Structure 1
Amino acid sequence: MPSSCSFRITRTAEDLAQTINALSQRLVRLEQRQEVLELQLNKAQQEPSEEELAMLDGVEQLLRDCQELLATSSPPENVDQSWSDEEETLAA
């Protein structure tokens, strides 16, 4: 009897060692995969896509157009007068 018990303990210990070894290898592979994914994510965050660059160019052009409109247009004189008439009415 003692020998069969000893065999079971030895066999169980070997099974546990193999399981731990397999789990360790899987963990290493998962860590390597995680590193690759993190590198890809960092690269994607640092470099804007072609679509994003095109959108930013469009926004920049719209800003320039708005600045040109603001620079070339002058406010009508009667609008300023109507504001001051309204202020006088409110002050009274």
Structure 2
Amino acid sequence: MEIIAIEKKTLETIQRAFERFAVRMDELCTGHTKQLSKWLDNEDVCRLLGISKRTLQTYRDNGTLPYSQINHKMFYKVSDIEALLGHTIDKAA
């Protein structure tokens, strides 16, 4: 184990910077969560449309349904699902 000594003033500066960073991350994550509530995942879309995962894949492949991908997970805008259905859907579903 290695011991490193730093001045108290330096430690306090690092702590303040980290606290500002943590607050900023909380602000960003809170805003992101609100935005994500307007998106649906594969399971939600299959349930709403009454289709299989394979049919949903076909909709993605042929451009019938726009999507966004984060890592390996697909997300769909509620507005795009509504446009496909031709009517407004209950977002609580």
TM over 0.5: no
TMscore range, shorter length: 0.3 to 0.5
More strand as a share of residues: 2
Q: Give the structure, 1 or 2, with the largest relative contact order (CA under 8 Å, sep 6 or more).
A: 2
More helix as a share of residues: 1
